Every structure is written in C-alpha cells, then in structure tokens.
C-alpha cells in the first residue's frame, strides 16, 4: 500500500504477473489518478509532438518552418502528456507551490527513449536568479536530471538567462510570447548534438530561442523534450 502524491488516498496496486515479484513502477500515483494523465500517443505533429487526428506537420510548425531566423533551429520536440486541467494542476503544485517530490510521478514514463541517443548532451532551460530564488529549484533542471539518469546522457547547463527579462510566459499573450527578444545567452561552449529539456511546450518560442542560440554556437542537431504539449 502507498499514498498517492496527488489525491493523498491510500493506493493498493492490483497484483499482476508483472508486479507479483517486482515493485510496481507507478506507485507514486493511485490507479484513478494514473488514468487522468493523458498520454500523447498515436498520430502527432512530426515537429512539435502535439496530438493530431493524423500524423502531419501542424499549422504552428508550418509557420516556424518558414521563419527565416528559427526555421532550421530545431529538429523536433517530443512530449509525454497533454496539458489537460488535471495536468495543469499537477504542474502548478510542482512548479509554483514547490512540491519538489512530484517529479517522481513522471519517472516511470521517462524510460521510453524518443530521440537518437548517441552524442546527445542534455541542456535544461534555465531560470533567472530571481525566479530560482522564489521557487528554490529549477523544474527543468530537475526534469533534465531524471531524463539523464533514465537515458544515461550527460547534462551541461550551457544556457543562462538575462536578468532583465521575465520568464513568466504564462502571463503573456501568444503574440507577446512570439515577439520577445531572446532571453538566453551561452554560459558554456558546447558543440555536440543537444537535447533541450523543459516542462511545457506552448507556443514553442522558448525552445526555439534556445535552439537558435545553440545552433549559432555550432551545435549540429538540436532536439527538445518537454513533459507536456
């Protein structure tokens, strides 16, 4: 028996041939809460990983493709979950209310490798010093450490954020997000292929800013992984 990290109810895992002799992998969530996590499966956008009726390139990614500055910056993004109201509440509890332990909810789902593994270096999206002070941790770095552990890849914190720009993207309109200046600068030299890691892909502006900077610095192929899309 365990306690679900979301609903705080006692959870008794069903006995199956899979977990009869081994611990259940999803013990941080009860079965009811597991069912509320909406995995992205089946047809997706080939670029951003968004769930689609059929595999194609979505209209947003068509615009990125024809953008002179960002068109070839990112190979593709892949995400695990849709940004449903249930996931929105989990993210708020984890990211804004400082429930650091909630990362354990996602660990069992990180074992599926979604990228060409060889020579990838993981680069987490950074927070500003002020935001890091307020939250006490960077959720993207925490997620990146889990991904690195599951996929046996190195992490390099090669990006830093200009202090004069806020990262509160959730309070900006889509147009405001798309018109922001690049908030990042390189803090370390890096010329391997890169896997950017962030918690949420919304407009894609943050990921494209980071990918553009790394591409300019000599990285050949840049992918991104986000928890939700």
Residue pair 187/157 in contact (Cβ under 8 Å)? The answer is yes
Question: Rounded to an integer, what distance in angstroms lies between the CA atom of residue 181 and that of residue 201?
Answer: 18
b/e burial code for range 128-144 (CB count within 10 A of at least 16 → b): beeeeeeeeebbbbbbb
pLDDT of residue 1: 66
Percent of the chain with pLDDT over 90: 61
CB under 8 Å to 146, separation ≥6 — which residues?
Answer: 103, 106, 107, 110
Whole-number CA gyration radius for the chain: 18
At residue 31, the pLDDT reads 87
| pLDDT for residue 23 | 46
* pLDDT (0 to 100) of residue 7: 87
pLDDT at 6: 87
User: For the chain, how many residues are written?
Assistant: 229
Give every residue of the chain whose pLDDT is below 50, as ranges.
Answer: 20-24
Q: Which of 125, 121, 192, 124 is nearest to 151 (CA)?
A: 121
- Please tell me the distance from the alpha carbon of residue 76 to that of residue 50, in angstroms, as a whole number: 11
Distance CA 73, CA 215 (A): 6
The pTM (predicted TM-score) of the whole model is 0.87
pLDDT at 168: 63
- CB distance 171 to 98 below 8 Å: no
């Amino acid at each position: 028996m365990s306690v679900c990290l979301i609903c705080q109810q006692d959870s008794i895992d069903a006995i199956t041939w899979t977990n009869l002799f081994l611990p259940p992998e999803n013990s941080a969530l009860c079965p009811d809460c597991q069912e509320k996590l909406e995995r992205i499966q089946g047809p997706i956008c080939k670029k951003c990983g968004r769930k689609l009726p059929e595999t194609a390139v979505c209209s947003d990614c068509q615009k990125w493709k024809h953008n002179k500055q960002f068109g070839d910056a990112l190979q593709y993004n892949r995400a695990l979950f849709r940004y449903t109201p249930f996931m929105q509440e989990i993210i708020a509890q984890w990211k804004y209310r400082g429930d650091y332990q909630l990362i354990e909810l996602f660990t069992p789902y990180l074992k599926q490798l979604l990228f060409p593994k060889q020579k990838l270096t993981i680069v987490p999206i950074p927070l500003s010093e002020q935001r890091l002070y307020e939250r006490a941790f960077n959720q993207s770095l925490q997620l990146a450490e889990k991904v690195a552990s599951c996929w046996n890849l190195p992490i390099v914190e090669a990006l830093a954020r200009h202090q004069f720009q806020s990262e509160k993207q959730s309070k900006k309109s889509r147009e405001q997000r798309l018109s922001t200046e690049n908030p990042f600068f390189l803090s370390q030299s890096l010329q391997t292929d890169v896997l950017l890691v962030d918690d949420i892909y919304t407009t894609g502006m943050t990921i494209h800013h980071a990918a553009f900077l790394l591409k300019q610095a000599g990285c050949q192929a840049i992918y991104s992984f986000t928890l939700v899309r």
